[in-house]
């Protein structure tokens, strides 16, 4: 069973991407990288192919969004090894000696678990305090996010691919919702930490800025308006937004015993 890092990235944040790739080489060399690049120029494409000779890289001319880009990556991963583990990551992340994706993968392999999210901090200043609180345990959470990496196995890849192409406002919420409805337990793993500079410009923030993107199905997770302006002025979905119908479907399909 191969282990893959799934990275969808954009060409407008080169410094962040460079830091991410350096940290992968240093701390996650036992994982294969699948990178889907959007909006990169010809010279940058050539440079990254030289920099990452062992990676599986695809470049798209236009921005297709995180969900659609990662769908392309998951198709590649499924072809390379139908039975696999994936950790979905972002280009504004940096990995650390305390990033333990293999432990997250152990939980993701279990039949009852869906998405396993790693712990994270926004900057180097917060690492020490977070590391002091690390523990080898998980906390159940219905809707999870990329955080310090989002681990899942091939059984969840099939669910995500089944969503098809869509201009999603937030892939994390939609993937979590689909996995929850299918009866799996999503969770946060407390024994790993990575840096995730989530407020950086570009990336997803630019993609959702001015064009209406698809919101989650209101039957299961109604979207809540935020104070921001624009067509996508909604809070990212969270566990408390799940409806009774969503919980009922989860119970009907659950893959675990209480």
Confidence of residue 209 (pLDDT cuts 50, 70, 90): low
Distance CA(195)–CA(249), nearest Å, equals 35
* 150 against 200, higher pLDDT: 150
Check residue 181 and give its pLDDT. Answer: 98
Check residue 246 and give its pLDDT. Answer: 98
Check residue 30 and give its pLDDT. Answer: 97
Q: Which two tokens stand for residue 227?
A: 């104070």
Strands 32-38 and 2-10: parallel
**Buried b / exposed e along 184-217 (16+ C-beta atoms within 10 A):** bbbbbbbebbbbbbbebebbbeebbeeeebebbb
Domain ranges in the chain are: 2-253
pLDDT tops 50 at residue 203: no
Check residue 201 and give its pLDDT. Answer: 54
Check residue 227 and give its pLDDT. Answer: 83
Instruction: Note the pLDDT tens digit of each residue in 82-95.
Output: 999 999 999 999 99
Mean per-residue pLDDT of the chain? 93
Give this prediction's pTM: 0.93
Region 2-253: CATH code:
3.90.550.10
Instruction: Note the pLDDT tens digit of each residue in 130-168.
Output: 999 999 999 999 999 999 999 999 999 999 999 999 999
Query: What average pLDDT does this structure show over 225-238?
Result: 83
Query: What average pLDDT does this structure show over 236-247?
Result: 96
Q: In 3D, which of 181, 142, 141, 188 has the Cα closest to residue 160?
A: 181
* 59 against 233, higher pLDDT: 59
Instruction: Note the pLDDT tens digit of each residue in 11-50.
Output: 989 999 999 999 999 999 999 999 999 999 999 999 999 9
């Amino acid at each position: 069973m191969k282990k893959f890092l799934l990275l969808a990235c954009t060409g407008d944040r080169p410094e962040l991407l460079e830091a991410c790739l350096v940290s992968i080489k240093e701390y996650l060399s036992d994982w294969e990288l699948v990178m889907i690049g959007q909006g990169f120029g010809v010279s940058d494409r050539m440079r990254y192919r030289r920099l990452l000779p062992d990676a599986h890289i695809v470049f798209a001319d236009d921005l297709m969004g995180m969900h659609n880009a990662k769908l392309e990556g998951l198709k590649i991963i499924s072809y390379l090894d139908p039975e696999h583990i994936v950790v979905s990551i972002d280009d504004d992340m940096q990995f650390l000696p305390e990033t333990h994706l293999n432990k997250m993968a152990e939980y993701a392999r279990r039949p009852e678990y869906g998405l396993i999210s790693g712990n994270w901090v926004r900057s180097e200043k917060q690492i020490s305090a977070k590391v002091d609180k690390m523990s080898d345990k998980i906390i159940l959470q219905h809707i999870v996010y990329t955080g310090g990496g989002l681990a899942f196995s091939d059984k969840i890849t099939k669910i995500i691919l089944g969503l098809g192409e869509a201009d999603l406002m937030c892939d994390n919420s939609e993937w979590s919702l689909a996995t929850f409805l299918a009866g799996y337990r999503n969770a946060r793993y407390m024994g790993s930490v990575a840096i995730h500079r989530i407020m950086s410009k570009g990336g997803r923030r630019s993609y959702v800025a001015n064009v209406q993107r698809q919101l989650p199905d209101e039957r299961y997770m109604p979207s809540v308006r935020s104070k921001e302006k624009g067509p996508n002025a909604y809070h990212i979905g969270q566990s408390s937004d799940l409806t009774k119908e969503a919980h009922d479907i989860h119970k009907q399909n659950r893959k675990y015993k209480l």
